[in-house]
Amino acid sequence: MITHSPSQYFQHTLNRSISFIGRGLHTGLAIRMMIQPAPANTGHVFVRQDVPLDQAEVPARWNTVTDTRLSTTVANRFGVKVATIEHLMAALHACGVDNARIVLNGPEVPIMDGSAEPFVRLIRQVGLQQQEEERRAILVRKPVRVEEDGKSASLLPNPRPWMDMMIEFDSEVIGHQHLSVSVEAESFETELANARTFGFEDQINTLRKLGLAKGGSLQNAVLVNENGVVNVEGLRHADEFVRHKILDAIGDLSLAGNPIIGRFNGFCSGHGLNNTLLRKLLQSVDSWTLTTMRGAEEYWNWTRVQKMPSGW
Ligand SMILES: [Zn+2]
């Protein structure tokens, strides 16, 4: 039997607002950000304080994603953008925050230390408030797969949210890494939250020419060159790279707007492919059902009963 704790059946928001100050990884801008409680069924909505009020809201949704080069950017119909949302989205999703208004005074979420840990720490500190509306879930019923340039990503039916990622880099320090983990608040906090974003020294100049990575430093990213890891403190986990790729994918998939009850299998999948997968899933209406957490649980318990050999 699959059962959830009663609170998992309901939507949650924060008990009170939390604030962050930091630089945007790509814009390099100093940003102030406040995450505020929001009513049930709001989802995650960014509010830009530095643009006219009627253009300020940018919903964080799979269909508002406009750029996936190195980070996930969302924009509204006025072209107002918020970049590098994925680590914050992963933290909100994994901690069970369904609804939040994220007020910020610039076009990018502060990168903090390059991981989701600073967000998780403050969310934990203020705690969650249960709301009256039931939490809905996207129950994957048929496999969906996308492929591009030898990379792939798929979502498969599974009773619990699960992430499996394999990466291969032409770099000795990264090489081949594989990790398979369930997505729950506790495992996210211990296994994934502190894994930092990473980049390669020989690509920095190219990125800067493209106007990216202007705020990148050894304080908010792991830098890799032909000799290994440049950061003097070294790595937080021997396989910090694959852990970070899973963290990114959790953030990207959370843009479905509801938790996905299914298993993600990624091979070298990044922001672009993660979003393509989400679009393919949500547009293949026979591959999933929108239900409540209780509905997802009943579906899987029923599926197991059907599969039991006769005589049981
Ligand atoms: Zn990342």
* CB-based contact 194:117 (threshold 8 Å): yes
Expressed as residue numbers, the domain containing 252 is 6-307
Q: Which residues contact 60 (CB under 8 A, 6 or more apart)?
A: 43, 44, 45, 46, 74, 82, 85, 89, 102, 255
Token pair 């003097």 in the structure block, residue: 232
In DSSP notation, 260-308 reads EESEEEEES--HHHHHHHHHHHHH-GGGEEEEEHHHHHHHHHHHHHHHS
Give the total number of structural domains in the chain.
1
Residue 296 CA to ligand 1 center (angstroms) comes to 29
Predicted confidence at residue 186, as pLDDT, reads 87
- Would you say residue 297 lies in a domain? yes
- Spatial separation of the C-alpha atoms in residues 8 and 137, rounded to whole Å: 11
Residue 86 belongs to some domain of the structure? yes
On the CB side of 272, how many CA atoms lie within 13 Å of its CA? 10
Classify residue 66 as exposed, middle or buried by CB count within 10 Å of its CB (0-12, 13-18, 19+): middle
Give the number of C-alpha atoms closer than 13 A to the C-alpha of residue 124, restricted to the C-beta side.
Answer: 13
Evaluate whether 275 touches 65 at the Cβ level (below 8 Å).
yes
Ligand 1 center to 251 CA (angstroms): 9
Q: Report CA(23)–ligand 1 centroid distance (Å).
A: 15
244 Cα to the center of ligand 1, angstroms? 6
Which residue type does 202 have?
Answer: D
pLDDT at 1: 55
Packed helices 117-126 and 86-94: angle between N→C axes, nearest 10 degrees: 40
Residue 207 C-beta-side C-alpha neighbours within 13 Å: 18
Q: Is residue 34, in this structure, part of any structural domain at all? A: yes
Beta-carbon neighbours within 5 Å of ion ligand 1: 197, 248
Spatial CA neighbour of 286 closest among 177, 140, 178, 163: 140
Element (H, E) at 30: strand 30-37
138 inside domain = yes
Q: Which of 12, 44, 87, 271 is catalytic?
A: 271
Q: Any catalytic annotation for residue 271? A: yes
Ligand 1 geometric centre to CA of 300 (Å): 32
User: pTM higher than 0.75 for the full model?
Assistant: yes
Distance 160 CA to ligand 1 centre (A): 23
Structure tokens at 140: 């994957």
- Ligand 1 centroid – CA 306 distance (Å): 40
Flag whether 312 is in a domain: no
User: Which CATH number goes with the domain that contains 56?
Assistant: 3.30.1700.10
134 in a structural domain: yes
**How many whole angstroms from 71 Cα to the centroid of ligand 1?**
7
Grouping H, G, I as helix, E, B as strand and the rest as coil, residue 35 is strand
Task: Give mean pLDDT in consecutive 10-residue pieces for the chain, a chain of 312 residues.
Answer: 72 97 96 98 98 98 93 97 98 97 98 98 96 97 97 97 96 94 91 96 86 89 93 96 98 97 97 97 96 94 73 48
Residue 231 falls inside a structural domain: yes
Q: Does some domain include residue 167?
A: yes
Query: Which helix H or strand E contains 167, and what residues bound it?
Result: strand 162-168
